[in-house]
Amino acid sequence: MNIDQLRKNTPGCNNVLHLNNAGASLVSQSTLDVQLQYLQEEAQYGGYETAFKYADKIESLYSELGKLINASPSEIATTDSATTAWERAFFSIPFKNGDEIISDTTAYASNYIAYLQAERRFGTKTIVIGVDATGDLDLNELGNSISNKTKLISITHIPTNNGIVNPAEEIGSIASRHNIYYLLDACQSAGQYPLDVQKIKCDFLTATGRKYLRGPRGTGFLFARTKSIKDFEPFNLDLHSAEWTAKDSYKPRDDARKFETWESNIAAKLGLANAISELNALDSGQVWSRIVQLANYMRDQLTLIEKIQLHDMGKTKCGIITFNADRITPYQLKESLHSEGINTSVSVKSGTLIDMKRRNLDAVLRASVHYYNTHEEIDTFVRSIKKIVAK
């Protein structure tokens, strides 16, 4: 990868030291230009008419996303967020009283709240799998927890708050062997970690556009395997996801777009298509390798600071680095860094409640690197941390 050229095509690199890529990455100039051009034309010529003109480019989003995760374009649905994608998949599953949902300790709040809703509405039971000695999801416990009541395995691939990469492919093999539906939250991994749904063997995979994919906010997507498209029907069908065939009948679509609704932000979809195209032009293995190299370098440097405690776990660690400092809250750290032009974020207890309670953490500072970050930027970040904790 030509990092200098990639940074040159990322205007934000001139303004901030951006280490909040797990929140929202910096978009490229070309992704920004695509959106601005569309919005200008839409304002001048009309929304429907401009969308018709760009129909082929809108369609390219499905093929680019399919290429990204090794899926057919017919297995891709676009949404306005990862949460929308995840909930449309999850609530399409016909749960009944006594069904068991297996999840993990790093489940994100939005997902776990849905599990609790399912318990109230349908009488399901949520089983949380523990971790092994490294902090990864315990595969032995997962296998032993499966019963004839297990309806779904729903796992977070890369959690928001601890650096882990959970073993998605191994989990998929277990789910496939037991013929259990498998929903993978790839919100933090898409664009960071190479994804292949054929190897993962998931029925559903969901992600957002704004994080490591470097797309606009207000975008997301859902992968639904062809079999799952046939098996399940979302609650929110409309005239786009289904056809009204008679006064008392309708026919859902037979592709993943049955999980969409008609209205969408076309400019944002075109921006996401451009971002995915740029990512597909890179080698996903090289992207992952560079992110891991930068993240490990940051961890090594932070380890040398006496007043810093790192909290990352797992055999395989990703581009998310989490830590605390003595006598300084994560919020104070974040604000001090922001005043120096460095973007980070805070992961709070309520976001991943089970994991944070298990580790007795109320909040952690989260620094997340992307391929366009540099070793020099990390050196600057570490110097700032040293200065802040020395006060």
Domains of the chain: 3-20+284-390 (3.90.1150.10), 29-280 (3.40.640.10)
Rg of the chain on CA atoms, in Å: 21
Which band of pLDDT confidence, cut at 50, 70 and 90, is reported for residue 280? very high
CB 265, CB 58: distance < 8 Å: no
Those residues whose C-beta lies under 8 Å from the C-beta of residue 147, and which sit 6 or more positions away, are 100
How confident is the model at residue 40, as a pLDDT? 98
Over residues 16-46, the pLDDT tens digits come to: 999 999 999 999 999 999 999 999 999 999 9
Angle at 23 between CA 21 and CA 29, to 5 degrees: 55
- pLDDT score of 63 more than 90: yes
Mean pLDDT of the chain: 97
**Residue 72: predicted pLDDT:** 98
Residue-wise pLDDT tens digits, 298-347: 999 999 999 999 999 999 999 999 999 999 999 999 999 999 999 999 99
pLDDT digits (tens, 9 = 90+) for 138-165: 999 999 999 999 999 999 999 999 999 9
The predicted pLDDT at position 288 comes to 98
Pair 341, 375: CB distance under 8 Å = no
Q: Does the pLDDT of residue 168 top 90, yes or no?
A: yes
The answer on pLDDT for 7 being more than 90 is yes
Q: Using an 8 Å Cβ cutoff, are 104 and 137 in contact?
A: yes
User: Nearest-CA neighbor of 82 among 26, 196, 160?
Assistant: 160
Phi and psi, residue 368, nearest 5°: -130, 125
Long-range contacts of 374-383 (CB under 8 A, 24+ apart): 374/3, 374/7, 374/294, 375/294, 375/297, 377/17, 377/19, 378/294, 378/297, 378/298, 378/301, 379/301, 380/17, 380/342, 381/17, 381/19, 381/298, 381/337, 381/342, 382/298, 382/301, 382/302, 382/305
Number of helices (H), then strands (E), belonging to the chain: the values are 15, 15
Nearest to 334 by CA among 385, 271, 375, 283: 385
Contact between 128 and 104 under an 8 Å Cβ cutoff? The reply is: yes
Contact 144, 138 (CB under 8 A): no
How many C-beta atoms surround the C-beta of residue 247 within 10 A?
5
